[in-house]
Structures are given as structure tokens and as C-alpha cells.
Amino acid sequence: MIDLKPVRGTRDFYPAELRLRHWLFDIWRGTARQFGFEEYDACVLESEALYVRKAGDEITGQLYNFDDKGGRRLALRPEMTPTLARLILQRQRALQFPLKWFSIPQCFRYERMTRGRKREHYQWNLDVIGQPGNVAEVETISALIASLEAMGLTAEHVRLHLNDRRLLTAVLERAGVPEEHHLPVMVVMDKRDKIGGEQLEALLGEQGLSGTQVRRIDEFLAMSSLEEVKTALGGDTPAVAELEALQELLGRVGFGDWVGFDITVVRGLSYYTGTVFELRDRSASLRAICGGGRYDSLLSAFGGDPIPAIGFGFGDVVILELLGDLGLLPQLGTDLDYVVIPFSEAQVPAALELSQKLRRKGLRVDADFALRKLKRALQRASEIGARRAVLLMPDELERGEVVVRDMAKREERRVAMEAFLEE
């Protein structure tokens, strides 16, 4: 007997779950288009080399990788950003920047499974390539928040935690950490929430940091306002001014309530160079819902010209959990206009013919040929969310009539078949 369960960490999508997934994707796609982003896609298989990074990113250790039959080292993509960089670099001379692109790729990571983390997920990626400075930040973050509003969420439910890698760099400089250690140290700092103080200290020790340096960093990470950090860093730290300007612009477009400074947001991917952000639920009971930031050096790291870029990845797993917890998941039916129900075998040909005539009119029609008891057939029609049922009863059909039932109003009327088709 073969194991019928999906591979550990992966999901099956039965129709009800797929309806929900499509509902979410429609919001993502609709929002992206509303903001003028264009959709792209690529194959889930990539060269492993695309994900190998020096700083020790966790994602590299989570790769689904293998040799293909031709001896190539391949991987299932764990994220879309390197693929996006590859696409841009291939056409660097031909493309018109800035570009606003989005995608909804399925991604694979061999993760330790916890609530909200699986080994396969879909991730809405929205990126602006070739636009330096805060404008692109405001546009991507605005699109993100607009999608949350479309899901029925408010600033009471979630918060966008905002920080800047340049600010963290200033903190590390202040703590006396040599520059070549900054990236690996940030990758370790990102684990702070997951592993706790002692283990963090040990890991930072492995990066060559002294106890005093770790304490210094910890002091900064305990600061809750940008004001406080500004004072502690003293003088004019450019990253502070950038963050202030960004927050002001986000306020100006009406999203100020959703956003707040959070110095503990580091992000685990080493390619970020400036703004970084994570979306979290207010009760902080779930993992990050969405994460992103500016990565101005990734394209040059791949051998191209330097091109500024910013974007985010927004997974389908945590958001559906949160919406479920809050009772905000929609009740989705099949969206059928009609279910045609023949009373018995004798009315089946007429049901086939009528269904086809209705479909030609552009209506969504299911014909129910299970020949169940009428009551059961109507119950099913209502369960699958059909708006109306058309009953083909022996006597009525003989007279050239059908019975049309409005499922919501529970009202029935007899109509001549011809008149019904004219309606």
C-alpha cells in the first residue's frame, strides 16, 4: 500500500482550499495591477549556484538540491529574488528601468516545521527595480497595505515593522564590530527571536564578538523608539534621517497607522542593503506574515551593473492562518448560476439540452445527473453555492414548462421553457 499523505511539509489543495487560495491570489494580483505592476514567471528549477552566499544565510542550508541526469547541480527555488535578478541581468541592456514586476511563485525550503512554516509555500513577490530612494519604498509598502485592506484587515490587526540595514551597520560600528563581520553578524542577529539570549551570545561569539560587544548590541536592540536610537548614535546618522523621511511619506499617503520603527528587524537574507521590513500580527503569536527590503547590490553581485532594487515576499501560509483566527476568511461557493436537476432518467436528455443552451448564454451551469431524491438534490445545490436550480419535472416538462427555484429566497415559479430561455 503506498502512502497517500502528501510529502511531509507539502499541502494538497482540495477544491475548497483551492477556492481560498485563488481568492487570496486574486487580491494579490488585483492589487499589483492596481499599482501598475506587471506579472512575470519562471521555472521552479534553478541552478544551485544562484543561492550560494558567503554570509551563511539560513536559506542556503534549506535547499532542496540535487544532481540531474546530466550532472547539473540544481535546486527548487526557495525564494524568487535571485530568479528575478537573473531575469533582469539577462536583458539588462534592453529593459527600460524602473521596472515594477510581480509574481506568485511556489517556493520550497527544507524548514523545521512550525506553525506558519511549511516546506512548500506560495509567495507574492512585488519588486521595483531601478528606482533608488524612498519613492519605491512607499509604492511597494502601499501596495502591501492595500492588499491587507482588501482582505478586511486593519492597522489594529497587523503592523509593519520598519528598520534600515544602514542603521544596524551604524550600531555594529558603534559596538566596534569590524566591517567584514557585519553581514554574518546580521544573519545571526535575525535569529534572536527564535533562539533566545544565551544561544545568540554563543553564536555571536563564534563570529568573533566579545561579551562587551554583544552587550552593546543588545542595548541598542532593546531601544523602542527611533528617537532613542538617534540620541544614542549621536550626531547626524544618515539612516535615521532616511527612516524619518520614509515614515513621513507613508503618513502622507495615509498608511502611517500601519507602520512603526523596530530596530530588531534585521532579516535573515544577506543581500539587503537599506530599508528592511516585516509584517507581523499585533498579538505577535504568529511568524512573520511578509518580509522585504532594499537590495541594491544583488544584481552587481551576480556580475551585472549595479541596479537599485526593493521588494517583498508575502507567503500564503501565515496570512490564511491569521485570517482564520480573526474569522475573516470568506465563505466561498462555486459561483454557479444554475444547477439543472432532472427528476428521473426520462428527463435527462432534456436536462443535457437545457444545460447546454444556458451555457451558450454565458451562464455557469452544473447538471446534476445523480438522480437523487429532489430534497437531497436541492440541498446539494445550496451547499455548492448555486444561485438557482431548474427542476425538470415529468408533468411540467410535458407541458413545456420548467420549475425555477431561487435558492436564497427559497421561492419557486413555473415558467414556459421558451420564456425562461429568453429571460
Supply the minimum distance, in Å, between the C-beta of residue 161 and ligand HAM.
12
Supply the minimum distance, in Å, between the C-beta of residue 405 and ligand HAM.
43
Q: 136 vs 104, 223, 279, CA distance in Å?
A: 20, 27, 18
C-alpha cell at 266: 534585521
> Which CB sits closer to ligand HAM, 124 or 420?
124
Supply the minimum distance, in Å, between the C-beta of residue 233 and ligand HAM.
26
> Which CB sits closer to ligand HAM, 185 or 298?
298
185: buried, middle or exposed (CB in 10 Å: 19+, 13-18, 0-12)?
buried
> Which CB sits closer to ligand HAM, 116 or 342?
116
Count CA atoms within 13 Å of residue 361 on its CB side: 14
Rounded Cα gap, residues 329 and 320, in angstroms:
8
Rounded Cα gap, residues 256 and 250, in angstroms:
5
Supply the minimum distance, in Å, between the C-beta of residue 309 and ligand HAM.
7
Residue number with the shortest CB distance to ligand HAM? 315
> Which CB sits closer to ligand HAM, 214 or 265?
265
Supply the minimum distance, in Å, between the C-beta of residue 410 and ligand HAM.
43
Rounded Cα gap, residues 148 and 129, in angstroms:
23
> Which CB sits closer to ligand HAM, 18 or 113?
113
Supply the minimum distance, in Å, between the C-beta of residue 356 and ligand HAM.
43
Supply the minimum distance, in Å, between the C-beta of residue 119 and ligand HAM.
7
> Which CB sits closer to ligand HAM, 105 or 342?
105
Strand partners, 281: 158
> Which CB sits closer to ligand HAM, 100 or 109?
109
> Which CB sits closer to ligand HAM, 35 or 295?
295
Supply the minimum distance, in Å, between the C-beta of residue 343 and ligand HAM.
49
Could you list the residues that contact ligand HAM (CB under 6 A)? 79, 81, 109, 111, 117-118, 121, 123, 125, 127, 269, 288-293, 295, 311-315, 317-318
> Which CB sits closer to ligand HAM, 111 or 218?
111
Rounded Cα gap, residues 85 and 92, in angstroms:
10
Supply the minimum distance, in Å, between the C-beta of residue 147 and ligand HAM.
13
